[in-house]
Structure 1
Amino acid sequence: MGKVNDMERKVTKFGNSLGITMTDALKQIGLELGDTVQIDVNQANGEIIIKKAHKIHLPEGISPDFFENLNDVIHEYDRTLKELKDR
């Protein structure tokens, strides 16, 4: 598929939410109904970046919240881990 340029859409109401339609753009990056996306919002320049989320298949015995818990621990001990790295 070719690149879609200069897409302009109006914000509309979908139930209680605001949204836009952009089926052609989503198809170009391989998104289909039910896929998960990652949304990055840059308030400073008014950009919203939508990326196809990459599913991680965890080994048996690893719970789905493992990475969330790991991220919490890394954030909590960030300074300590950085100091250990520099030893």
Structure 2
Amino acid sequence: MEREAAFAFISENPELVKAWIEQNLLMKNEAMKITQQSSTAFGQAVDTGRIKSFVEFGDKRKTKWYLKADLLDYAKNKKKNSKQ
């Protein structure tokens, strides 16, 4: 899908976009529950690039949203790696 067509779809279907965001994007507190990490451990995983934000915005105070699928994958692999 071309960029212009994608933007047109989004503009014409805000309820679908909202539903997708609500089902797939999480803020830090929700993300920490999935990864079962403390704030410090989660921050370290972000700082080292093991967890990446899907989108971030804001200049002075950044807001980051994380993709739920990425967090579930990270949590699954974190458990595997800790058993080795």
Q: Higher strand share goes to which structure? A: 1
Relative contact order higher in (CA < 8 Å, ≥ 6 apart): 2
Tell me the TM-score range normalised by the shorter chain.
Answer: under 0.3
**Structure possessing the higher radius of gyration over alpha carbons:** 1
TM-score by length of 2: 0.23
TM-score by length of 1: 0.23
Q: Higher helix share goes to which structure? A: 2
